[in-house]
Copies of this chain bind each other. A is one copy, B any other.
Amino acid sequence: MKKYTHINDIDDIYSWIKAANNIKSDPLKDLGLGKNKTLVMLFFNSSLRTRLSTQKAALNLGMNPIIMNVSGDSWAIEFADETIMNGNTAEHIKEAAAVVSQYADVIAVRAFPSLKDKEKDENEFVINSFLKYASVPIVNMESSIGHPLQGLTDAITIAEHTITARPKVVLSWAPHIKALPHAVGNSFIQAMQKMDVEFVITNPEGYDLNPEITKNTPIFHNQSVALKEADFVYAKNWSSYDDYGKVLKTDSNWMITKEKLGSAKFMHCLPVRRNVVVEDAVLDSDNSLVIEQANNRTFAAQLVLKKILENL
């Protein structure tokens, strides 16, 4: 594999899920594969799970992870072409990506969207600039419009906990006080569209995600209708896509409660604001899969790195 920047880089999701489960059952079996190989992880934004699980995955493969917080440790990066760099940015992505490529066998990048400039965000200018100017494989640790390591993790987790032939999976918008990106929602949708599940989305009016991503997945503006007979409820907040980056409502009626959940399994990518997105009673119950999801982040990242290392 030459890169992992989008859910579409997964050729056959069920074979990937199987491979991830194999890794999970014996995480150290490929310890020799990454020997003397370096994973440089570049963070433009905060991270806990992605930061730690990707390091852990690299270590399980015998790789040397090198971490850099781009803004704190290094120089502000310019992404625009043909610009006169007499402002705040000190280094152009053309140099940065090419240079880091010489110290890394694989580069992983996290860069959140502005949520202000829709076109710029949708162009994925950070991750695409790395793809263009780096000479080594790129892994997306969450970009403007996608979080494919999380989407893969979620597919693995759903497969692991599926007990019916074709489970019903509901992605439900939930309230939040801040304007959040669409990346997790988008990648989850794209992962579910590749799986043999009954998949529906529910969100308030004005919160429909990009129709090029939701495609023909049913969208319900009535949460209780959508949640009926769900096997998995995936809660996530996102800001408006139409009224780009805006928080239109923080209506606590959309919070996931134990009553709404019933016997379904609860999922969330974390971090989650308790009693805003979902009530304590859900997270503290056996129905919650959130900790297991976080655990599976290691194996998703390890699978991706393994596929890349095997192809170096």
Q: Which residues of A contact B (CB under 8 A)?
A: 28, 31, 36, 38, 40, 43, 46-49, 51-53, 55-56, 59-60, 64, 66, 68-69, 72-75, 78, 82-86, 90-92, 94-96, 98-100, 102-104, 177, 270-276, 280, 283-284, 290-291, 294-295, 298
Contacts and interface: CB of A to CB of B under 8 A. Distances in A.
Given A95-B270, A95-B290, 18 more contacts: A31-B36, A46-B74, A48-B91, A49-B99, A51-B74, A53-B103, A82-B280, A85-B275, A85-B276, A86-B276, A91-B271, A92-B274, A94-B274, A95-B283, A95-B291, A98-B294, A102-B291, A103-B298
A273 B273 CA distance: 41
Contacts of A83: 274-275
A276 B83 CA distance: 9
A295 B47 CA distance: 29
A273 B91 CA distance: 6
A273 to B, nearest CB: 4
Contacts of A84: 274-276
B59 A75 contact: no
Nearest to A56: B103
Say whether chain A's binding surface is mostly helix, strand, loop, or mixed: mixed
A153 to B, nearest CB: 12
25 contacts: A31-B36, A36-B60, A40-B52, A46-B75, A47-B73, A48-B73, A48-B91, A48-B99, A51-B68, A53-B102, A53-B103, A56-B66, A59-B64, A83-B275, A85-B273, A92-B271, A92-B274, A94-B284, A95-B294, A96-B271, A98-B291, A99-B270, A99-B291, A99-B295, A102-B295
A160 to B, nearest CB: 14
A68 B51 CA distance: 9
B99 A73 contact: no
Contacts of A55: 66, 103
Contacts of A60: 36
Contacts of A48: 68, 73-75, 91, 96, 99-100
Number of copies: 3
A130 to B, nearest CB: 14
B52 A103 contact: yes
Contacts of A78: 274
Contacts of A295: 99, 102
B46 A73 contact: yes
Contacts of A66: 52, 55-56
Contacts of A98: 291, 294
A47 B275 CA distance: 34
Nearest to A135: B291
B72 A298 contact: no
Nearest to A60: B36
